[in-house]
Amino acid sequence: MGTKGDNNRTRIIEAADMLFYKRGYNQTSFSDIADVTGIPRGNFYYYFKTKDDILAAVVEARIRHYEEALVECDNAADSPRERLLAFVDNMASSEDTLVESGCPIGSLCTELAKDTEALQSKSREVFGLLRDWMCRQFEEIGFSDANDKAMDMLARMQGVAVMASAFKDTEYLHRSIGDLRNWINSLTLN
């Protein structure tokens, strides 16, 4: 059973998650989060002492979100290649927000790559989760360079997200997601 405290904490995390994505981490203040949630700033210092604490909670929430998405991909198909394609479908379902605000994971990492090592390592945790999952799929297909392939797949997705959001180009994004599918299907064992 959730208490009112749990509920407030969750609302703060959800608002921060949205604001970090739409405006950026550095452009989001405690006041902004208070405005969106309607929870007075004074009250929510009870849940989070610093913005870095909120970032940690947002990253944890995103990890849970992607863990669930990966379980869905695992359940969507028996073959590892089909599971990777299911993950691409997951990306394709967010075309509009990708064009508007870029990739939530990549844009946070890009922003925090210029910050302290502590914030950097926090922001890359979601990438680590996805890379490890993709690596397992490529291993199961039989690739000896499964980790390289996982990094390549993430890089392709990130590159497409950067260009689609820089040029605000949905048509490019759509074509590139098709190319990503073709690439996954074309990979053969040597």
The residue ranges that bind its own copies (CB under 8 A) are 22-24, 26-27, 100-102, 106-107, 109-111, 113-115, 120, 123-124, 127, 148, 151-152, 154-160, 162-163, 165-168, 172, 175-176, 179
Smallest gap from residue 107 Cβ to its own copies (A): 5
* Closest to 43 in 3D by CA, of 8, 6, 79, 10: 8
Apex 65 CA angle, 2 and 74, nearest 5:
125
Smallest gap from residue 116 Cβ to its own copies (A): 11
Q: Which is nearer to its own copies, 8 or 147 (CB)?
A: 147
Q: Which is nearer to its own copies, 73 or 109 (CB)?
A: 109
Q: Which is nearer to its own copies, 76 or 154 (CB)?
A: 154
Q: Which is nearer to its own copies, 77 or 155 (CB)?
A: 155
Q: Which is nearer to its own copies, 22 or 41 (CB)?
A: 22
Smallest gap from residue 156 Cβ to its own copies (A): 6
Smallest gap from residue 155 Cβ to its own copies (A): 4
Q: What is the DSSP letter of 25?
A: S
Smallest gap from residue 158 Cβ to its own copies (A): 4
CB 85 within 8 A of CB 181: yes
CB 115 within 8 A of CB 173: no
Angle between helices 146-167 and 104-112 (to 10 degrees): 90
Smallest gap from residue 85 Cβ to its own copies (A): 19
Q: Which is nearer to its own copies, 71 or 166 (CB)?
A: 166
The DSSP result for 128-143, as a single string, is HHHHHHHHHHHHHHT-
Instruction: Provide the token pair at 134.
Output: 């993709």
CB 108 within 8 A of CB 99: no
How far is the C-alpha of 116 from the C-alpha of 25, rounded, in Å? 13
